[in-house]
Chains A and B, each alone.
Chain A
Amino acid sequence: MADYDVIAIGAGLGGLSTAALLAKEGFKTLVLEQSDIIGGCCSTFETEGYRFDVGASIVEILQPMDRFFELMGKKREDYIDLIPCDPIYSFITPDGQRFSYPTDIDETTRVIEKIAPEDVEGWERFCDEALDKMDEMMDSMMLAPMNTMGEAMSMTIKNPNVMKFMPLLLRTHQAVTRSYYKNPIIQASVAFQSYFAGAPPEIGSGIFGFIALTEHLGIFYPRGGMIAIPEAMMKAGQEHGLEVRTGQKVEKILVNGGAVRGVQLEDGTEISSKVVVSNVNAKVAYLKMIGTDNLPSWAVKAIDSYRHSMPCPMIYVGLDTKPDLEAHHTVVTGSIDMMNEVWNDYYTKDLIPNSAMSLVCWPTEADPSLAPEGHHVLNFMCNAPAPYAPVGDNWDRIKDWYKEESLKNLEKMVLPDVRDHITYLEVSTPLDFERRLLSPQGSIYGLFSDMTSLAMFRPNARSRAVKNLYLAGSSTHLGGGVPVTIASGVITSRYIAEDHG
């Protein structure tokens, strides 16, 4: 008899949501996390009195999280205190112009009208086309499995309204943006989502254009830091017998006769289970933990063909003063062409870009408890995307140089006197990210996302190469991000309950 019904490798949002839901269904479930803290990219660490988020900085599109708690028989409000962040974004243009988008759609229209009256029509057209039945769309599109052609067709037949989003899915983010807006500042303000999500606007799917609107349903910060989300899920699962062990690194997924039979930890301990859920990068799970000897050649070819998503250096800053910012997120924008140029002329050539485009996150605006009284926290992404292995160098060697260049950018574009107020500063390079999360090449969204690696073309949540192996998290449908990785957990748990319940 197996030690557990289900073992989930990795306590990220995908692993925890799958495991908690299965524990609720009566499965004897164990989560093994290599780190001492849970959450993966959606986590928070404490140092010198400050609490910094590892990667994820807000949550939006609450439907998957609410569905998770509903399926657990709980109320989200009893587990997480979500603080609304309004304005959604503040922008700084290359010539220093500043403006913010409030949550309210009409107020946003007035902001656009001041900057580019000619784009009001495009904004209103986009809202009219996409806002209608958005809640319904979120439910049907995000929580439906789409790992096969049949599942995708079934979802479309049940929800014919999703067809109106096909033009977004089949076009690039750049094409979608330019079909609605003429002004380069407005274009950049709604096109940076794909850029920071790991694909330039000329390659990223037009579905990213949708994010510019869904954010107006509200973006939220969980009180206590982003780790409050995985902690809430873990707690909800533990109330149904879920077991979570941290500091337990899985070395191998044990396979016998083409089916999983458990896992082997770094210290050699074997734990048996009927089902294994991988919440680690799919390339690591298949090629390293299972090994090419245990896979058919077509599966090796398939998994080998995926690229990792981009890495993203991050700077964690503690300040002894309130920064002169307007919103939880401040985006130093460029133009769509500048975003494409960073990707094509720098990132893909393993060069670190010298662009000022960056993202500053100010979590203490929402939750002052993350820093000592009067102090603040900034999470700053600069010169991103940046390569994992810069030509002729490595991140350990250039860390100080990178820190200095990023601070210069921060001073020049965002906070002129920031250097006088820094009480703590830590640079997390792609190498550090890889060490902290065991995320290969420091990738922050699992696998690269474009039209050819989404939905049924992303590694299947119910593996067809190894029996009783399931995937959850950013490497499987629907990709990386807080709401979508929770949605993947809901989908994967449903598969397992169907197959083994």
Chain B
Amino acid sequence: MSKKAKRLLHVGMLVGLVGVYLSLDESTKRYLNHIGKQVPYLPYRYFI
């Protein structure tokens, strides 16, 4: 696969994910926002 095709695939996936996110109800969005903010800390939390 060429570099251009790869980039298009990534952009397509990103657009798809944003589309899925926007189609979710407000409650699920709040849940995902909450979890999303915590995820970066998980590697640290695992070791404490």
Q: Could you tell me if A172 and B48 are in contact, using CB atoms closer than 8 angstroms?
A: no
Q: Could you tell me if A305 and B44 are in contact, using CB atoms closer than 8 angstroms?
A: yes
* A306: chain B residues within 8 A (beta carbon): 45
Interface flag for A311 (CB, 8 Å): no
Q: Could you tell me if B47 and A202 are in contact, using CB atoms closer than 8 angstroms?
A: no
* B23: chain A residues within 8 A (beta carbon): none
Q: Could you tell me if A202 and B45 are in contact, using CB atoms closer than 8 angstroms?
A: no
* B48: chain A residues within 8 A (beta carbon): 286, 299, 302-303, 459-460, 463-465
Q: Mask for A434-468, Cβ within 8 A of B = 1, else 0?
A: 00000000000000001111001111100111000
Interface flag for A301 (CB, 8 Å): yes
- State which residues 6-48 of B face A: CB under 8 Å: 27-28, 30-31, 34-35, 38-39, 41-42, 44-48
B47 and chain A: residue at smallest CB distance: A464
Interface flag for A340 (CB, 8 Å): yes
B45 and chain A: residue at smallest CB distance: A457
Chain B: residues with Cβ within 8 Å of the partner, total of 15
* A302: chain B residues within 8 A (beta carbon): 41, 44-45, 47-48
Interface flag for A203 (CB, 8 Å): yes
Q: Could you tell me if B30 and A452 are in contact, using CB atoms closer than 8 angstroms?
A: no
Choose among B34, B39, B47 the residue that contacts A203 (Cβ–Cβ < 8 A): B34
CB of B5, distance to nearest CB on chain A (Å): 35
**Considering the chains assembled together, what is the distance between the CA atoms of A241 and B28 in angstroms?**
53
CB of B26, distance to nearest CB on chain A (Å): 9
* A463: chain B residues within 8 A (beta carbon): 48
CB of A307, distance to nearest CB on chain B (Å): 9
Q: How large is the interface on A (under 10, 10 to 19, 20 to 34, 35 or more residues)?
A: 20 to 34
B39 and chain A: residue at smallest CB distance: A452
CB of A450, distance to nearest CB on chain B (Å): 7
* A286: chain B residues within 8 A (beta carbon): 48
Q: Could you tell me if B42 and A202 are in contact, using CB atoms closer than 8 angstroms?
A: no
User: Number of A-B pairs whose CB atoms are under 8 Å?
Assistant: 58
CB of B35, distance to nearest CB on chain A (Å): 6
Interface flag for A344 (CB, 8 Å): yes
A306 and chain B: residue at smallest CB distance: B45
Q: Could you tell me if B38 and A453 are in contact, using CB atoms closer than 8 angstroms?
A: yes
* B30: chain A residues within 8 A (beta carbon): 202-203, 340, 344
Q: Could you tell me if A452 and B31 are in contact, using CB atoms closer than 8 angstroms?
A: no
* A303: chain B residues within 8 A (beta carbon): 48
* B27: chain A residues within 8 A (beta carbon): 174, 202, 340
Q: Could you tell me if A452 and B42 are in contact, using CB atoms closer than 8 angstroms?
A: yes
**Considering the chains assembled together, what is the distance between the CA atoms of A299 and B48 in angstroms?**
6
Q: Could you tell me if B35 and A202 are in contact, using CB atoms closer than 8 angstroms?
A: no
Q: Could you tell me if B34 and A450 are in contact, using CB atoms closer than 8 angstroms?
A: yes
**Considering the chains assembled together, what is the distance between the CA atoms of A303 and B48 in angstroms?**
7
Q: Name B's A-contacting residues (CB within 8 A).
A: 27-28, 30-31, 34-35, 38-39, 41-42, 44-48
Of the A-B pairs whose beta carbons lie under 8 Å apart in the complex, a sample of 23, sorted by A's number, is A149-B46, A172-B31, A202-B27, A202-B30, A202-B31, A286-B48, A298-B44, A298-B47, A299-B47, A301-B44, A302-B45, A305-B41, A344-B30, A450-B34, A450-B38, A452-B35, A456-B46, A457-B45, A460-B48, A463-B48, A464-B48, A465-B47, A465-B48
Q: Which 7 A-B pairs have the closest CB atoms?
A: A302-B44, A452-B38, A302-B48, A305-B41, A457-B45, A202-B27, A301-B44
Could you list 18 further interchain pairs (A-B, Cβ under 8 angstroms) beyond the known A298-B44, A302-B48, A464-B47?
A149-B46, A172-B31, A299-B44, A302-B44, A302-B45, A303-B48, A305-B44, A344-B30, A450-B38, A451-B35, A452-B39, A452-B41, A452-B42, A452-B45, A459-B45, A459-B48, A460-B48, A465-B47
